[in-house]
Amino acid sequence: MSTGPNRVLGLELARFRYSGASRDTLSGINLSLAPGSLTVVLGNSGSGKSTLGAVLAGMLPRHDGDALDATLHLAGQRIHHRPGAAVRIDPVGWARQVGLLPQDARHYLSGVRATVAEELALGLENAGVPRAQMHRRIAALADRLELHALLERDPAQLSGGQERLVALAALALDAPAVLVLDEPLAGLDAAVAARICELLDRLRSGGTALVLLARAVDRLAAGADTVLALREGSCHELDTAVPADAAPVAPAVRRAPGTRDEVLLGFSGVGIGYPGSARPVVEGLELTVRAGECVGLAGPNGSGKTTVLKAAAGLLCPSAGQVRGKSLAAGTVGLLLQNPSDQLFERTVAREVAFGLPRRGPAAARIPAVLDSLGLREHAQAHPYELPASSRRLVALATVLVREPEVLLLDEPTEALDADGLALLHAALAAVLDRGGAVLLATHDEAFMAATAHRVHRMGPAVAARVRDRTGGPG
Amino acid sequence: MPRTCRLHPFTVLALAAAATATTVAAGRWWLSVAVLLACLLLAAWARRARRLAGLAAAILAPAFGSQLLIHSMADTAGGHVLAAAGPLRITAEGLATAGALGLRTGVLVVAGLLCTLLVDRHDLVAAVDLSPAPPQLGYLLAATLLLLPALEQRQRAIGQAQLLRGATPGGGPRGWFRRVRLRSVPLVLGALQDAADRSAHLAARGFPAAGPHTRLREVPDSAAQRRVRRIALACIVLGPVAVLAPTWAGAA
């Protein structure tokens, strides 16, 4: 770590506590970032990574009782925060030095611009950059990230991975001295992830200091100068020679597919489009999912994986072909959406899981067992939004599992899950397959796909997908 | 696909305001009918005639009904009684008053609705941003105009999530009320949470701008349009004055 004048950001944090909390979220953290450095902060969900990112980005403490005891060094200034005497931060001035990509990239997008190009330009517009210069900079960035196809799209209609890509691009366009990135590669396909890694490498060689908040060392974190482990709010330095494939590993081994031939879900010649779009998102889809089988959906961001899952759940009607299957007719299909916020709307975890269930039915009786199986019993009376991201995803999973779906549909299920959460997810999948159900999942997490899927269905943009049997592949 | 209007939003608004002000001040039924027909023709050109008719009917039917109740059925001043039942009297004068007021209201509503159908809301926000108006006005306008589509999208997501969990509100008025009850609380709470989550990032990106700012979006404009706007603004003031001045002079 860098000390002295050759640093763009320094943090000496004694402690940070949220307003109304009974314990400190962060304590005893020292960071010093040199230009062009890569610092990786590893931690499980709930360890305080996102809080640390918000402190570095000047978004915490808020002026309603958060207590921060810390000194920050930024752009030649020394900023002292003391509990009860937090310094008022100019958010724009701070953001010119430190940019933050939040864990949910949707929060970075403004929601007030019509196209991706305008969304990218928002920061430049507010800084008064002339239009011609904005066009030049956006075109150069679009060349580098192959974003041209997205520039005229409505930001509200992007897939989860595309949202992350656009948010990252907008941050890169504003070119702050420090970039704090909360799981930047989550939900991105391999090609986009490679372009992001290349962009970040280029920014780094141009002097941008990167702070990567992650659950495990991934390909981006492999070249880190410093690796810190965040446990219960405190940092410990790790050996930087951590292998690049040290992502949370699937603890369960993929089981052999079931021997039953019963088709639980089938797509024949299915085409699905959205109103107003010129071309269907999915065309000529042929796919069957049998009892005891786990099928993976793979493909680039925006290739229609979520659309297929929504059609399988009966939320979208195909414009061509037919979605059939015993489970669909019986209504025993459960879908875990990519963003748990889309699926959670009650004020406690227990109410959330019980929503829509008959009070005296067998499903309601299963609630305690489902909460136990996902490690959520102690959070039963907590508000879902107050939980760490990993637990929030498990709550969304619990709302699906409590109905014992015959076909379980999962959209990027490992996003934001920590190692414990991943183990619980594997156990849940095994339980569904063991009782004769089936799983159809869409994910960019190749390790998870390899550990769980018996077959992988590769999708391209509006192109009939091809099936590649991986039954005999490495497990 | 609806046709969009490649005019500066202020031009459309200024023309609509001038036509409305002059027509309402003139109070001539034939002028009101002509403006209403012109609005319908423009809507038909934009392929939004059905939407304009539907929205206008939803607003004007109760408004016109109340005019009829007040001025026509309970008229006490008119001499030409067409029908009477107890305290209720339908008079020719009352009907004429209700019709005239209804037409004026119609012009106001239909012209306003036509503006919302013709003007691209993103163009309008950009036009305000690029005008000398305070940046907070653009922010307020953006938040107001774009909140509804965002809420619509969010309520659809909530509806899907609830559908997945077996919540089927059913059809008819009972189903509608049940759907509103199920979705409204999570919709409001979700919107508040979303606003809280986004606000720090918006502030960090300098939104709303505190100083000089630019926009990537180009709002169509020209010297001719600027002249039209100036003339329309003059009409907003001078049109009613020109129409009403003879009346005032006669009264004096």
pLDDT on residue A359: 81
Specify the pairing of strand A455-460 against strand A463-469.
antiparallel
Shortest CA gap B55–chain A (Å): 22
pLDDT confidence of residue A20: 83
CB contact (8 A) between residue A94 and residue B204:
yes
Assign A466 a pLDDT band (cuts: 50, 70, 90). Answer: very low
> In 3-state terms, chain A is what percent helix, strand and coil (to 5)?
35, 25, 40
Pairing label, strands A438-442, A407-411: parallel
Residues of B in contact with A357 (CB under 8 A): 165-166
What class has domain A263-469?
Answer: alpha beta
Residues A160, A263: Cα–Cα separation, whole Å: 30
DSSP H helical ranges for A186-254: 190-205
* Interval A168-198: pLDDT, tens: 999 999 889 999 999 888 878 888 888 888 8
Beta bridge mates, B84: B89
The helix, strand and coil proportions of chain B, stated in percent and rounded to the nearest 5, come to 75, 5, 20
Chain B residues closer than 8 Å to A112 by CB? 125, 142-143, 146, 207
Q: Indicate the pLDDT class of residue A468, thresholds 50, 70 and 90.
A: very low
Chain B within 8 Å of A118 (Cβ-Cβ)? yes
Give me the residues paired with residue A296 across strands.
Answer: A441, A456
Residue in the structure block whose two tokens are 């209403």: B36
pLDDT at A463: 42
Sequence-separated contacts (24+) of B97-103 with Cβ below 8 Å:
B97/B71, B97/B72, B98/B64, B98/B67, B98/B68, B98/B70, B98/B71, B98/B72, B99/B29, B100/B27, B100/B29, B100/B32, B101/B67, B101/B71, B102/B60, B102/B63, B102/B64, B102/B67, B102/B68, B103/B29, B103/B32, B103/B33, B103/B36
pLDDT in tens, B194-203: 888 888 999 9
Q: Cβ neighbours of residue B10 under 8 Å, at least 6 residues apart?
A: B127, B131, B229
Q: What is the mean pLDDT of residues A424-438?
A: 92
Closest by Cα among A272, A334, A330 to B161:
A334
Interchain contact, A110 vs B205, CB within 8 Å: yes
Of A108, A130, A403, the CB nearest to B201: A108
Pick the range with the lowest mean pLDDT from A395-409, A444-458, B105-119, B235-249: B235-249
pLDDT at B138 over 90: no
Out of A102, A114, A403, the one facing B201 most closely (by C-beta) is: A102
Q: State yes or no: pLDDT of A247 exceeds 90.
A: no
Min Cα distance B173 → chain A (Å) is 20
User: Where in chain A are the domains?
Assistant: 9-238, 263-469
> Residue A334 and residue B166: Cβ atoms within 8 Å?
no
Cβ burial A21-38 (10 Å sphere, 16+ → b, else e) = eeebbbbebebbbbbbbb
| Per-range mean pLDDT, top range of A465-469, B135-139, B212-216 | B212-216
The pTM for the full model equals 0.79
B201 with A331: Cβ contact below 8 A:
no
Looking at residue A102, what DSSP letter applies?
-
What DSSP element (H or E) covers B100?
helix B92-118
pLDDT score for A246: 47
Q: What is the pLDDT of residue B186?
A: 83
Q: Which two tokens stand for residue A407?
A: 């076909």
Taking an 8 Å cut-off on Cβ atoms, the answer to whether A125 and B214 are in contact is: yes
B213:A127 CB<8 A:
yes
CB A342 within 8 A of CB B164: no
Query: Hey, which residues 231-270 in chain A have their CB within 8 Å of chain B?
Result: none
Percent of residues, chain A, with pLDDT higher than 70 = 89
Is the minimum CB–CB distance between A348 and chain B shorter than 8 Å? no
User: Which pair of structure tokens corresponds to residue A7?
Assistant: 């640093």
Distance of CA A389 to the CA centre of its chain: 9
Helices (H), A36-115: 49-56, 91-97
Contact A410, A441 (CB under 8 A): yes
Q: Give the closest-approach CA distance of A240 to chain B in angstroms.
A: 31
Name the nearest CA neighbour of A411 among A310, A266, A263: A310
Q: Which residue has the tokens 């020292």?
A: A30
What's the CA gap between A437 and A439, in Å, rounded?
A: 7
- Give pLDDT, residue B214: 93
Q: Which of chain A's residues have a Cβ under 8 Å away from the Cβ of B194?
A: 107
Given a cut of 50, whether residue A462 has pLDDT beyond it is no
**Alpha-carbon A293 to chain mean position:** 26
Of A91, A99, A385, the CB nearest to B193: A385
For the stretch B61-67, contacts whose Cβ atoms lie closer than 8 Å and that sit 24 or more positions apart, written own/partner, are B63/B102, B63/B105, B63/B109, B64/B98, B64/B102, B64/B105, B64/B106, B67/B98, B67/B101, B67/B102, B67/B105
Mean pLDDT of B90-113: 89
The closest of B151, B153, B182 to B165, measured between CA atoms, is: B182
Structural contact between residues A301 and A442, judged by C-beta atoms closer than 8 angstroms = no
Encoding tokens for residue B168? 């089927």
Is A459 in CB contact (< 8 Å) with chain B? Answer: no
Q: How far is CA B223 from CA A320, B7, B11, B12, B229, in A?
A: 50, 12, 11, 15, 10
Give the pLDDT of residue A256: 62
| DSSP calls for B21-41 | HHHHHH--HHHHHHHHHHHHH
Chain A CB contacts of B157 below 8 Å: 342
CATH class of the domain defined by A9-238:
alpha beta
C-alpha B144/C-alpha B73 separation (Å) is 39
Task: Determine, for residues B204 and A107 on separate chains, whether the beta-carbon distance falls below 8 Å.
Answer: no
Q: Residue B165 is nearest to which of A59, A117, A399, comparing CB atoms?
A: A399
Cβ distance of B209 and A125 shorter than 8 Å: yes
Q: What angle do CA A450, A456, A459 make, to 5 degrees?
A: 130
Tell me the HSE value of A305 on the side-chain side, using a 13 A CA sphere.
Answer: 33
- Write down the pLDDT at residue A259: 61
Q: Determine contact: A198 vs chain B, CB below 8 A.
A: no
Residue A299, phi-psi category: left (phi > 0), alpha (psi -120 to 50), beta (remainder): left
Q: Which candidate from B149, B153, B209 shows the least CB-CB separation from A126?
A: B209
In chain A, which residues have their Cβ closer than 8 Å to the Cβ of B161? 337, 342-345
- As a whole number of angstroms, the distance between CA A434 and CA A428 comes to 10
The shortest CB-CB distance from B153 to any of A92, A102, A156 is to A156
pLDDT for A239 beyond 70: no
Residue A355 touches chain B, beta carbons under 8 Å:
yes
Q: Is A296 helix (H, G, I), strand (E, B) or coil?
A: strand
> Does the beta-carbon distance from B164 to A107 stay under 8 Å?
no
* A81 beta partners: A70
Tell if the CB–CB gap between A91 and B204 is shorter than 8 Å: yes
- Tens digit of each residue's pLDDT (9 = 90 or more) over A216-229: 777 777 788 889 99
Among candidate residues B16, B25, B20, B19, the one with its CA nearest the CA of residue B243: B25
Spatial neighbors of B233 by CB under 8 A, at least 6 apart, are: B14, B18
Looking at residue A289, the DSSP 8-state letter turns out to be: E
Report chain B residues whose CB lies below 8 A from the CB of A130: 214
A268 to A263, A279, B167: CA distances (angstroms): 12, 19, 28
Interchain proximity A334–B164, CB inside 8 Å: yes
Residue B220 phi, psi (nearest 5) = -60, 130
Pairwise CA distance, residues B218 & B10, whole Å: 14
Residues of A in contact with B207 (CB under 8 A): 110, 112, 122, 126
Q: For residues B182 and B191, give the distance between their C-alpha atoms in angstroms, rounded to a whole number.
A: 15
Which single residue is written with the structure tokens 């059939």? A324
Sole residue written with tokens 């100083």: B211
Contacts of A337 in chain B (CB under 8 A): 161
**Residue A105 in contact with partner chain B when CB distance is under 8 A:** no
Contact residues, chain A, for B147 at CB < 8 Å: none
Cis peptide before A405 (omega within 30 of 0): no
Mean of pLDDT values over A21-50: 90
pLDDT at A94: 92
Average pLDDT, chain A: 85
Q: Is the pLDDT reported for residue B167 higher than 80?
A: no
Question: Residue B12's pLDDT band (boundaries 50, 70, 90)?
Answer: very high
Using CB atoms, pick whichever of B160, B198, B211 lies closest to residue A111.
B198
Task: Say if the Cβ atoms of B165 and A356 lie within 8 Å.
Answer: yes
